[in-house]
Amino acid sequence: MVKVIMGLKGSGKTKQLIGSINDAVHNESGSVVCMEKGNKLRFDIDYRARLIEADDYGIDSYTFLKGFISGLHAGNFDITDLYIDGLYRIVGTDSVPDTDEFLQWVDQFATANNMKVTITISEDIEKATDGIKKFF
């Protein structure tokens, strides 16, 4: 299952994401992982959530991100919730066709591995394609 939270900067995406992460930590029995670029969430999310700084691993494309997510799961098959804050900033592109393809892939991966994935995208919601909107 994939959920996309999309909106311009200042629209409340991060606040919504923080609430969801903290709820998952308290209500899920598995591991909760959050990926971000920078370290703005460090003091806002529960310490039991695994916080990953994308720059520490050189994540710079959708292909790399797919491999990274696959590796996370291979190393810890108990991940129930994965959060990605600022998808376009992490992968370094706002290519709509690539985003649509990535969301399709991550949805299939999450379904096959019984994970919930929540992704924030900093972009005008009016620019969302049907491929993105189906995950709202």
Tens of pLDDT, residues 10-69 = 999 999 999 999 999 999 999 999 999 998 899 999 999 999 999 999 999 999 999 999
Coil, strand or helix: which one is 48?
A: coil
* Domain residue limits at 63: 2-133
Q: For residue 82, which of 69, 63, 66, 67 has the smallest C-alpha distance?
A: 69
Question: What CATH number does the domain containing 127 carry?
Answer: 3.40.50.300
Amino acid at 108: Q
How is residue 80 annotated by DSSP? E
The pTM is what?
0.95
Structural domain count of the chain: 1
